[in-house]
């Protein structure tokens, strides 16, 4: 039997997997790809962003509640999920910024923090890994650290001289950064206005226009519009983090599919040949796996 394709996504907190690339994962699961979400922290210092859940008992049990939310989202997406066991750093606010709390993920030594991820890669043996870029997608210390350990682990997992106690070496074949397309918000905003509706983007468009447009970095657009409802259901499962009546869910689904039916990525490392631009995270990998060329470095 042919080897099954395997995808790993590496995220900072429970809920990140549902807001970043969830429809892509749902599509690949429907195609029979094995998918594993690696969650770096428990989200213990996250805010309660849903006013309906902002109650004292939620704050007391936030770590356990977020674990249960992650379990539900995992079921909806039909993926596997593993905790790397680090403690949420929180998002520092103020001027000057306060120091990060002792022992948190953002203060860990990068090489030490990469070891649990190396061990997970060697156990799961993914062909493709998706993570954040060097900015973390936004400047949360846990997102930035997630990027750092993912880059280290991608290279180290296949090297038998690194982390010798972390299992049999396995070299993933492709590394991607998840990208939020600048053009996506613009296209959806204009389509909503053209349909005679009020756009939830109106207040943020001026601020958004000042952000750098990095769409030229996108190499890979995965068509997954038919899985947007699964994405939204998974996101709603993180009830402390997302208001079901909030911004995330105000874009009409037909406009989403018509204007931007893809989730977008930047290919940053590849050990296989594929032609850019791509429409498949496994471009080049499928041929390699079908030819029986493995990535183990035993």
pLDDT tens digits, residue range 216-273?
999 999 999 999 999 999 999 999 999 998 878 999 999 999 999 999 999 999 999 9
Confidence of residue 174 (pLDDT cuts 50, 70, 90): very high
- Which residue segment(s) compose the domain that 117 sits in? 6-290
| Residue 140, annotated as binding a ligand | no
Total domain count for the chain? 1
Question: DSSP E strands: which ranges in the chain?
Answer: 6-11, 34-41, 80-86, 128-131, 174-179, 220-223, 262-270
Residue 1 predicted with pLDDT over 80: no
Residue 275 lies in a domain: yes
Residue 193 lies in a domain: yes
Residue 93 lies in a domain: yes
- Rounded to the nearest angstrom, the gap between the alpha carbon of residue 22 and the centroid of all alpha carbons in its chain is 8
Residue 30 predicted with pLDDT over 80: yes
Confidence of residue 91 (pLDDT cuts 50, 70, 90): very high
Pick from 166, 123, 132: which is nearest to 151 by CA? Answer: 132
Distance CA(144)–CA(135), nearest Å, equals 6
Residue 210 lies in a domain: yes
pLDDT of residue 298: 46
Residue 229 lies in a domain: yes
| Residue 16, annotated as binding a ligand | yes
In the predicted model, what is the mean pLDDT of the chain? 94
The single-letter DSSP state of residue 196 is: T
Residue 298 lies in a domain: no
Q: What is the percent of the chain where pLDDT is above 90? A: 82
Instruction: Name the β-bridge partners of 297.
Output: none
pLDDT tens for residues 97-150?
899 999 999 999 999 999 999 999 999 999 999 999 999 988 899 999 999 999
Residues 6+ apart with CB under 8 A from 220: 176, 264, 265, 266, 267, 276, 277, 278, 279, 280, 281, 283
Q: List helix spans (H) across 107-175.
A: 110-124, 141-156
Q: For residue 285, give Cα distances in angstroms to 224, 262, 293.
A: 19, 20, 10
pLDDT of residue 104: 98
| Residue 71, annotated as binding a ligand | no
Residue 274 lies in a domain: yes
CATH code, 177: 3.40.50.10320
Residue 89 lies in a domain: yes
């Amino acid at each position: 039997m042919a080897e099954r394709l395997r995808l790993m996504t590496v995220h900072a907190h429970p809920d990140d997997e549902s807001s970043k690339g969830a429809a892509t994962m749902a599509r690949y699961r429907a195609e029979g790809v094995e998918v594993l979400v690696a969650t770096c922290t428990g989200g213990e210092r996250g805010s309660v962003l849903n006013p309906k859940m902002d109650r004292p008992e939620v704050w007391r049990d936030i770590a356990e509640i977020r674990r249960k939310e992650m379990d539900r989202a995992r079921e909806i997406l039909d993926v596997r999920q593993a905790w790397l066991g680090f403690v949420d750093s929180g998002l520092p606010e103020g001027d000057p910024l306060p120091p990060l709390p002792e022992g948190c993920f953002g203060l860990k030594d990068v090489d030490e923090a990469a070891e649990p991820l190396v061990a997970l890669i060697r156990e799961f043996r993914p062909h493709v890994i998706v993570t954040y870029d060097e900015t973390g997608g936004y400047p949360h210390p846990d997102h930035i650290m997630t990027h750092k350990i993912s880059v280290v682990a991608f290279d180290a997992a296949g090297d038998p001289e690194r982390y010798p106690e972390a299992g049999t070496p396995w070299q993933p074949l492709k590394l991607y950064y998840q990208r939020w397309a600048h053009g996506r918000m613009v296209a959806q905003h204009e389509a909503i206005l053209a349909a005679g509706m009020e756009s939830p983007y109106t207040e943020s468009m001026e601020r958004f226009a000042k952000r750098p447009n990095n769409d030229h970095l996108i190499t890979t657009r995965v068509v997954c519009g038919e899985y947007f409802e699964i994405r939204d259901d998974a996101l709603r499962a993180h009830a402390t983090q997302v208001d079901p009546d909030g911004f995330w869910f105000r874009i009409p689904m037909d406009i989403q599919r018509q204007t931007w039916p893809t989730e977008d990525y930047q290919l940053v490392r590849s050990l296989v040949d594929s032609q850019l631009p791509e429409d498949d995270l496994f471009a080049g990998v499928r041929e390699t796996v079908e030819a029986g060329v493995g990535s183990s470095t035993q």
